[in-house]
Amino acid sequence: MISRIWHGYTTPENADTYETLLKEEIFTGIQDRHIRGFQRIQMLRRDLGDEIEFVTIMWFDSLDAVREFAGEDYEAAVVPPKARAVLSRFDARSQHYEVREERSGG
């Protein structure tokens, strides 16, 4: 399992707009691609005062699945134009981690 992690930042005024864009367009668009090996996506949000940080975590079966999502340069960030318009800055490259252990509560 591969975890793809990316950070984006926006102003407090644009934060709700960006969150809605993620939920209603970007995440839906990713799901609609039916990428073989794509498992799920998570969005985290944190208020830093003068800006809002967003973290997306995507879960894939393999690096081949990541490549199907992002292309051969799979570390390159995938940031649509509408997202770029409301983000003040973002990671140009995503980080990828091999998931070595995962446990549930209980």
> What is the 8-class DSSP label of residue 37?
T
The verdict on residue 103 lying in a domain is no
The verdict on residue 17 lying in a domain is yes
Q: How many domains does the chain have?
A: 1
Q: What is the pLDDT of residues 27-62, one digit of tens each?
A: 999 999 999 999 999 999 999 999 999 999 999 999
CATH code, domain with 48: 3.30.70.100
The three-class DSSP label of residue 66 is helix
The C-alpha R_g of the chain, in whole angstroms, comes to 14
The verdict on residue 106 lying in a domain is no
The verdict on residue 14 lying in a domain is yes
The verdict on residue 10 lying in a domain is yes
The verdict on residue 104 lying in a domain is no
Return d(Cα 22, Cα 83) in angstroms, integer: 8
What pLDDT does residue 30 have? 96
The per-residue pLDDT of the chain, averaged, comes to 97
Domain limits at 44? 2-98
